[in-house]
């Protein structure tokens, strides 16, 4: 629950706007810098570095859980993995693993992290609930890159050892190698399309990308690309594959249907890591010798900005949250249109998710122009609310402790007692909802409610019975 409270507080600065605009739900990019021993956190909404986090020695790779709550960093020089709380940008754990952890991957369920330990010839399996190693898988010499299919059934591993098999297919249920797939010379970076039907392998010495059919574990296409391809990434619908070419200083864009290069995008210099923002298909490329990240527009295939980061950013792995749910969130209010001074009233705030998917990390923002002392907030079941103490008028943020299932309905109660200072004024209550998923109908995610505060409280009968009798007598005359 403390994590939820931290999430609420960290979002206050962006959620409380005059019209109760919802919090930024664009994912963040996490860029490990090998010689700075830190991670640059990029807000992909503004393409600016919003935090720098110290981690272990010589970090090379990052992986984000699909709920966006944790980030795992492979520390190549420290034989460890750093765990970052994504809501607070605070390091919460350091996990010992094998020698020279190079690349890591999180399964789509978010329950396991798999780490290639290059010079231990093993893969460490981390339980994300406890952040402890629960299994160690022996593999061939020098495992480097790893990718896991969306079903969570198989992992694909590349090797740098001279006598190692090109690509190993590991059954995650048994932690055993069930197949090997010959590819081009010098396989390194791996990427899997969302449906799990294709694996793309960057062959750095062959200057090609091998396309593996996962149903048969055979290569069905070989695509020529730039010089020394190192990493690959696939967009949300699998239609585009992006490959960084370290020595030709560019990115090859491959059509997922035809397995042909449809564009080549020049970047700054020495591109290594690459990941795609699933919300807008923009592509983030780490340029090691330039100490910068290039951002490519996925529609025009042009560089739209370059972001300075730490020293020698490598950024292997999927360093941007990928599993972004799509839901139709609605928020509405009901309550009186007027209220007398000192009278108590209630405003009901209703939240619905009409689907088609569960909405993760939902946050409700409630903004008013009334004093904090006039309100009492009752959270819906499964939510936690916090008062915005920094605002002279009452504002609340409420965070869901779990994802909002399709068809779910929640109600919040905002109790209000009109103070005399609000006589003959209008009370405005603006509400908004957001989540880390895609809102399929953003027109439903905000609402405004007005209540007129009336100074006239009505004629009050005198408390003294004698005066009441006298008054009645006067009225009869």
pLDDT of the residue at 147: 96
The ranges of the chain with pLDDT < 50 are 1-24, 459, 467-477
Q: Where are the domains of the chain?
A: 28-308, 326-454
- The per-residue pLDDT for 163 is 79
Please tell me if the domain spanning 28-308 has the same topology as the one spanning 326-454.
Answer: no
Which class for 465: exposed (0-12), middle (13-18), buried (19 or more C-beta within 10 A)?
Answer: exposed
Tell me if 76 sits within 8 A of 62, measured CB to CB: no
Tokens (6 digits) for 34: 């090998």
**Pick from 286, 320, 269: nearest CA to 34:** 286
Q: Which two tokens stand for residue 82?
A: 């750093």
What's the pLDDT score for residue 452? 92
**Pairing mode, strands 101-106 and 132-138:** unpaired
Q: Which CATH superfamily is domain 28-308 in?
A: YVTN repeat-like/Quinoprotein amine dehydrogenase (2.130.10.10)
Residue 314: name the closest of 48, 77, 28, 45 by CA.
Answer: 77
* pLDDT of amino acid 425: 84
| Nearest in space to 202 (alpha carbons), one of 237, 174, 228 | 228
* pTM score above 0.85: no
Phi, psi of 258 (to 5 degrees): -105, -10
What is residue 443's predicted lDDT score, i.e. its pLDDT?
81
Helix, strand, coil in percent for the chain, rounding step 5: 10, 55, 40
Q: At residue 20, what are phi and psi to the nearest 5 degrees?
A: 55, 50
| Residues 187 and 230: beta-carbon distance below 8 Å | no
Q: What is the pLDDT of residue 410?
A: 97
User: pLDDT per residue over 179-206, tens digit each?
Assistant: 999 999 999 999 999 889 999 999 999 9
* Beta strands in 97-194, from DSSP E residues, in sequence order: 101-106, 112-117, 122-127, 132-138, 143-148, 154-159, 167-171, 176-181, 187-192
- At residue 217, φ and ψ (nearest 5 deg) are 50, 50
- Taking a C-beta distance cutoff of 8 angstroms, is the pair 32, 62 a contact? yes
Question: 326-454 belongs to which CATH class?
Answer: mainly beta
Omega before 356 cis (within 30°)? yes
């Amino acid at each position: 629950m403390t994590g939820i409270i931290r999430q609420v507080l960290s979002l206050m600065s962006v959620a409380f706007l005059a019209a109760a605009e919802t919090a930024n739900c664009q994912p963040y990019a996490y860029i490990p810098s090998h010689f700075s021993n830190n991670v640059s956190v990029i807000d992909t909404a503004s393409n600016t570095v919003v935090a720098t986090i110290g981690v272990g020695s010589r970090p090379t790779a990052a992986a984000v859980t699909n709920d966006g709550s944790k980030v795992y960093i492979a520390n190549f020089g420290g034989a460890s993995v750093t765990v970052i709380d994504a809501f607070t940008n605070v390091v919460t754990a350091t996990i010992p693993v094998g020698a020279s952890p190079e690349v890591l991957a999180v399964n789509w369920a978010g329950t396991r992290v798999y780490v290639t330990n290059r010079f231990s010839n093993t893969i460490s399996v981390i339980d994300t609930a406890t952040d402890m190693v629960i299994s160690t898988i022996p593999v061939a010499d020098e495992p480097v890159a790893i990718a896991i299919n969306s079903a969570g059934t198989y992992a694909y591993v590349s090797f740098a050892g001279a006598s190692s098999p090109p690509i190993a297919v590991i059954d995650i249920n048994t932690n055993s190698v069930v197949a090997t797939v010959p590819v081009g010379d010098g396989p390194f970076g791996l990427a899997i399309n969302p449906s799990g039907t294709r694996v793309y392998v960057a062959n750095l010495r062959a200057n090609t990308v091998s396309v593996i059919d996962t149903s048969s574990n055979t290569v069905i296409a070989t695509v020529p690309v730039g010089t020394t391809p190192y990493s690959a990434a696939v967009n949300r619908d699998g239609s585009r594959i992006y490959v960084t070419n370290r020595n030709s200083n560019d990115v090859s864009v491959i059509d997922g249907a035809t397995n042909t290069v449809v564009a080549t995008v020049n970047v700054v210099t020495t591109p290594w890591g690459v990941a795609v923002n699933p919300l807008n298909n923009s592509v983030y490329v780490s340029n090691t010798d330039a100490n910068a990240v290039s951002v490519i527009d996925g529609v025009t295939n042009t560089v739209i900005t370059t972001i300075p980061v730490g020293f020698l950013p490598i950024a292997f792995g999927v360093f941007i949250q990928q599993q972004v749910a799509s839901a139709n969130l609605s928020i509405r209010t009901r309550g009186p249109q007027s209220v007398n001074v000192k009278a108590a009233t209630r405003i009901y705030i209703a939240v619905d998710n009409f689907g088609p998917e569960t909405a993760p990390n939902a946050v409700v923002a409630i903004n008013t122009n009334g004093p904090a002392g006039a309100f009492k907030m009752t959270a819906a079941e499964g939510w936690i609310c916090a008062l915005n103490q920094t605002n002279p008028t009452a504002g609340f943020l409420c965070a869901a402790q779990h994802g909002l299932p399709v068809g779910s309905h929640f109600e919040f109660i905002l109790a209000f007692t009109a103070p005399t200072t609000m006589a003959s004024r209008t009370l405005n209550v603006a509400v908004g909802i957001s989540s880390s998923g895609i809102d399929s109908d953003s027109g439903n995610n905000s609402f405004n409610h007005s209540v007129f505060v009336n100074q006239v409280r009505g004629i009050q009968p005198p408390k003294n019975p004698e005066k009441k009798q006298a008054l009645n007598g006067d009225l009869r005359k």
